[in-house]
A and B are shown apart, each in its own frame.
Chain A
Amino acid sequence: MIPFGSARGILIGNGSSVDFALDTLSPLGFTFRLFRGVFPMDLLSQITIVIDLLHNKGRHQIALDKSEISLTTQEENRQSILYHAETTSAAYQKLTSQFIRDYQVYLCMRQEEGVEAVSKRFLGVPEAPPTMMGGHAYMQQMMKVWSGTRIFSQVDVPVFLCLQTPREISSFLSHTFADFLSGYCDRHNLSKEVLQNSIRGVCLGHAYCSQVFPDLTQLLRQIKRAHQQGLQIMLELPTVRTCEQSRFARLLHCLEARGEPIDEISVNDWGMAYYIGTQTAFSCSAGRLLLRQTKDPREAYMRINETPSQSYYPEFYMEYLVSRGMRRAAMEASVPYTSPVPIPFSLFLPCFQLATSGDCILKNLMETGNRGTHRPQRTCAKYCQSEVLLYPEHMKTIGIGNTLCTLNSHVMTDMSVLSRYMGESCDRLVLDFPW
């Protein structure tokens, strides 16, 4: 059977239509097996052949009028009829010839050279070997793009700093805020002069990994320090496994009992969202791992002839979240959304999450030396503090611990890009550098 997604037919007649898969396809005709009763063939007026040419060359369809087709029955049984259709339509012959040629080339190339060769030849995806730079050098190079950016002086929303790495947290706790900010800006190639007037708060916790998420004592220290500095506090919770539910429940109850000044809790699993909404007085926001979308950085190569027009976060869904107590959301500067986000949101930039592992891929790799085999990981060896996974440079992606993080540097330099992500509802920017 010809894969339906690449080539298919539609029977049309008497105001109805039925799409069907093709058994065989050639420039002279095609065959298909029709289930009895699914379409009245005596009312057939037209067969449309639809072909999606390979590598995003678009959808093409040829409408063959009944008079252009010679339809014969090859075989029949109680359930179905095998039809053979011949046509001399020049447009049909041209289209199917091109499709068959492309398909054969694709299959041969994929079999002999692999998918990467296909990506390179037909989509222009660069050669895939990972960067040969060391981790630190690679990140320095990525950050050079926005050196000296003054973009934060052009926005009139507050900026929060994400403190989710041991180095940032240690610096935050042990230095004055001015010194901490100087070090932060130096490390991430930002202008302190531009940022210092915009900083209003910090984002604590960890969105991706419960092992790295601070324990209660550490968290209380960070909250106290932030409060002393006059900073607002946003807390990000990771996805919470069953075995960790009680830990996070205790943590939340403790924070609530102490009246800790937490402005917002961003949750990344529905279970915790339900718990906070029903068992605590906190309000929570839909975290960046809850509002999902395909954001593969290679997708740009797929959209050769179209601009991304996806809009996510439909209004009915946002209403539902608000009705469940989630009045805010956390979004990422990953794929631009073309319809307005109807609730206030924090925009995390310049990194966005691409993929997160249920078990730490870095720990698995370090301890087994084998990328394909995984073991459940219940303890943390803190490999992510010294090692990263380096991907091909065109992907702008690094693996930190259990998560692949991709960098969108345009959003740090181009106000028109940043404005598109912010829209009307963004009321906070959160700077997130996961290294």
Chain B
Amino acid sequence: MKITAGLGSIDSFCAYVEAGADEVFCGYVPDTWYRCAGNIALNRREVRLSNVNLGGKNELAFLAQMAKERSVPVALAFNAHAYPADTYPLIADIITDCIEMGYVSFIIADLALLVFLHTKRSLKAGWIISGDFGEINPLLVEYLLEFDIQRIIFPRSTTIQEMQSCIAASHGYIPEFEAFVLNEKCHFHGALCQGCHNDDLLPLCQIPYRLGSMQGTEDIPMWTQNPQTALSGATGCGLCDIQNLAKAGITHLKVVGRGNFSDAMVRDIQVVRDCRDACERIAFSDCYRDYVRSRFPEGCSLNCYY
């Protein structure tokens, strides 16, 4: 199984690869998009004031060279849920430029974009279906076979058993499957969260709320988002199930973190790498889980993905 890690800045690429990342994924938002589309998101990170998205043909050239030297593939995310009607040609142009620079894998969440790229532009590339595409079930996998898909990323709430059914439904025509393994287990289904993820607004999952009775007023505590800690997997962890994911047919493990601090990501990638490597040498699942727990002597987050 390969580890794919979210990259927010090309400065972190080498550190992530040395930590054990076999692949990275990142957002790319060039100036032409900002000029033409303004605040419309090109991918699921609308942040401008932190290094979350790459931009600039210059940086893309750097990244392509570094990726080639280290034989580490880079997937570019174009995974916003929908786009204004008149921007599809622009997105296709941007993707075409990326292909010319040597990029071959693109993460897509919008069926309309997939249809446009296939039918109106006949672009050939490795299309990766984002976890934000929609509910992934075996029927959808069969439906997607017409699009020549390279990989499907399972949404966060997919169980391992469901993944197994979906992988079987591909009959080998979709070669790769990716599952979340660390960080950001969101409140909401990625495909069904229509809130903003930008610099100036709290994400929906962090807005304080109260529990209210339909019958009357009650003095109910207020909940805010639990504070994040420095612990790996504090916001979502699937380390204990890497063996089960491997048995189910998962080929790629996703470490979420575009925009996270680099040193935290390096730590997270190392943990996933160590656990993945341990999977291969430890036969019994109980022993494997003991190994994982030994990585957290003061207790793990208990925020389990699976």
Contacts and interface: CB of A to CB of B under 8 A. Distances in A.
A21 interface: yes
A106 B35 CA distance: 23
Given A19-B57, A135-B212, A298-B201, A314 B85 contact: yes
Secondary structure at the B interface, as helix, strand, loop or mixed, is loop
A361 interface: yes
Contact of B112 (A59, A130, A314): A314
A302 B39 contact: yes
A398 B188 CA distance: 14
Given A1-B51, A115-B202, A372-B303, A270 B211 contact: no
A296 B88 CA distance: 22
A373 interface: yes
Contacts of A177: none
A272 to B, nearest CB: 7
A125 B9 CA distance: 30
Interface string B118-159: 011000000000000011111111110000000000011111
A335 B135 CA distance: 23
Contacts of A435: 214
B196 A130 contact: no
A4 B59 contact: yes
A311 B137 contact: no
A245 B137 contact: yes
A135 B158 CA distance: 31
A314 B88 CA distance: 9
B231 interface: no
A414 B292 CA distance: 59
Interface in B43-87: 47-59, 61-62, 65, 81-86
Contact of A290 (B34, B38, B134, B235): B134
Contact of B216 (A10, A136, A242): A136
A356 interface: yes
Given A35-B62, A386-B215, A5 B157 contact: no
B274 interface: no
Contact of A289 (B38, B83, B192): B192
B218 A134 contact: yes
A391 B227 CA distance: 19
Nearest to B162: A242
A330 B59 CA distance: 42
A272 B200 CA distance: 37
Interface string A305-345: 01001111111110010000000000000000001000000
B54 A4 contact: yes
A123 B82 CA distance: 25
B30 A130 contact: no
A276 to B, nearest CB: 10
B193 to A, nearest CB: 4
A314 B92 CA distance: 15
A20 B56 contact: yes
A8 B31 contact: yes
B164 to A, nearest CB: 9
Interface string A1-40: 1011110101000000011110000000000111101110
Contact of B59 (A20, A103, A239, A273): A20
B111 A298 contact: no
B226 A372 contact: yes
B137 A271 contact: yes
B135 A38 contact: no
Contacts of A358: 155-158, 188-189, 192
Contact of A106 (B49, B205, B208, B216): B49
Nearest to A106: B49
Given A8-B55, A371-B226, A239 B62 contact: no
Interface string B286-306: 000000000000000011101
A39 B61 CA distance: 11
B48 A6 contact: yes
A239 B212 contact: no
A199 interface: no
A389 to B, nearest CB: 5
Contacts of B61: 35, 37-38
A274 B142 contact: yes
Contacts of A399: 209
Contacts of A274: 139-140, 142-143
B47 to A, nearest CB: 7
B185 to A, nearest CB: 6
Given A371-B226, A386-B213, A129 B53 contact: no
A242 to B, nearest CB: 4
B188 A294 contact: no
Given A128-B208, A131-B210, A294-B196, A316 B56 contact: no
Nearest to A309: B84
Contacts of B223: 365, 371
A271 B211 contact: no
A52 interface: yes
19 contacts: A4-B29, A19-B55, A19-B57, A34-B58, A115-B202, A119-B200, A119-B201, A128-B202, A239-B192, A274-B143, A292-B81, A293-B82, A311-B86, A316-B120, A372-B226, A387-B211, A390-B210, A390-B212, A392-B207
Given A239-B191, A310-B40, A356-B192, 9 more contacts: A116-B202, A130-B210, A271-B135, A296-B196, A314-B86, A316-B115, A355-B192, A358-B156, A376-B159
Interface of A: 1, 3-6, 8, 10, 18-21, 32-35, 37-39, 50, 52, 54-56, 59, 79-80, 103, 106-107, 115-116, 118-119, 122-123, 125, 128-138, 239-243, 245, 269-275, 289-296, 298-299, 301-303, 306, 309-317, 320, 339, 353-359, 361, 365, 370-376, 385-392, 395, 398-399, 404, 435
Q: Which 9 A-B pairs have the closest CB atoms?
A: A358-B157, A4-B55, A5-B48, A135-B212, A271-B139, A372-B226, A134-B217, A314-B85, A271-B140
